[in-house]
Amino acid sequence: MENTKNGISPTTLFRGNTNIWVCVIIFEIMSIIFNISTSIRVSDSSGYILKQTFFIIISFIAILFFQYVKIPLIRKFTRVLWIFSILMVGLMLVFGDSVNSSVRSWLGVNWFDVLRITFLLYMSRIFAQKITEINSSFKNCLRYALLPAIITWILPFRENLSTTICMVILYFALLFISEIKIKYKFYICLICLIGSALILGLYFNGVSLTKRGQTGENRITVWWNEVAHDIPNNNNQTIGSKTAIKTGGIFGTGLGHSQQKYMSQADTDFAFSIFVEECGAVGAIALLIIYGWLFLFALKIINKTEDKFSLYTCYSLILMILVQSFLHIFVNVGLAPNTGQPLPIISRGGSALIINSIALGIIINLSAKTKPSETMKAPRTKTQDTKEKKDEENYIDDNNVKKILSELE
């Protein structure tokens, strides 16, 4: 009963940090309300709501399940899960369903999302368990610390560049806090910079290694022209997003009253804009506070844990959620070119919602293993207080007796 000493009953339905659970429940409620609100944009609104509600229920069950999975078991199977996700991504690239000329799913699952979390778990294990081997030689450093990352990045690079960029950011964030020698970190950064320069050099010489390279270039060019040269962006989604935020004002137009929810990808890529239109600046600030609250308590878990794998896992998973969140928000407010990244937990979707929920479940699991001050404590009873008081009195009496005997001697 490993958690009983921390005041957490293993039979409790909700274990771990109370504050994180509050964030999770608020996110789930927001997701339900948001998807009901945006369901008006489709003809079969009842089917839309039922489908998304089903995914939200499954995601909540995933959180409940992963809060109880033993961390050593997760650590043990990280490599198997990573290899499995690579295999499934490979099959998706061959047999998957395409959206806008890009492969997005296979068997109803976006395996890029699965690859993202399994990659982070596997790298957390490597940085925790293989650090001696990594620091023993540069060859081992390349083998353990860089080769798995390159294999992972190559797979989604051609079809989904934004997912690759997110995984690169998360990898370097994890690399930064690892105990790898500084010179090896520098070599890894140098190798990646040279590789990026080669890819860009090939692209500008007419050789594109990514299927949507031209689309990405156009998005960056249009965004930069607007930011740096005040050239208006005529993209319908960008115009709709800015109009939605402007219309929202301070208190918003009210749930279900968005006028921009009919634009393309309003409930996924531009969920934040629609949310601001309906809930206003007040709702936007509240949402940002919840993300910040979640990050704050995740940091407390990181500071309390002594196990390196748990530390790296918690750090990388909370960053996975926050990087995607703020990248989505930056796109919606015009601070970044369109990337196609949904708003975690809030946007419509199945795979991304469930994967992010698994991440939250693991974080809650880790919070249950921190010190009692950071976890949900079981209520104390009068019997416990009385017993501890008597034990303390007896301890004092014993000390007094020993002191008297020593003086007599």
pLDDT tens string 288-299: 999 999 999 888
Taking 60 as the threshold, does the pLDDT of residue 381 lie above it?
no
Q: Which residue has better confidence, 215 or 83?
A: 83
Mean pLDDT of the chain: 82
pLDDT of residue 142: 94
Q: Torsions phi, psi of 97, nearest 5? A: -90, 135
Residue 111's pLDDT is what? 93
| 95-104, 286-295, 327-336, range with the lowest pLDDT | 95-104
Query: Which of 9-18, 256-265, 314-323, 339-348 has the lowest average pLDDT?
Result: 9-18
Q: Specify the pLDDT at position 125.
A: 96
Q: What's the confidence (pLDDT) of residue 388?
A: 54
- Residue 143, pLDDT above cutoff 80: yes
Q: How far apart are CA 237 and CA 260, in angstroms?
A: 9
Q: Reply yes or no on whether the pLDDT at 373 is more than 50.
A: no
The pLDDT score that the predictor gives to residue 9 is 36
Q: What is the pLDDT of residue 403?
A: 56
Report percent pLDDT > 70 for the chain.
Answer: 82
Task: Report the b/e string of 7-27 with b at 16+ CB within 10 A.
Answer: ebeeeeeebbbebbbebbebb
CA distance 30 to 26: 6
Instruction: Let me know: does 300 contact 363? Beta carbons within 8 Å.
Output: no
Token pair for 158: 């051609």
Q: Cα separations (Å) of 228 from 27, 200, 328?
A: 35, 22, 21
CA distances from 10 to 7, 16, 273, 368 (A): 10, 10, 41, 10
Query: In this predicted structure, what is the pLDDT of residue 262?
Result: 78
Inform me whether the pLDDT recorded for 302 exceeds 80: yes
374 half-sphere exposure, CB direction, 13 A CA radius: 19
Sign of CA dihedral 61, 62, 67, 72: positive
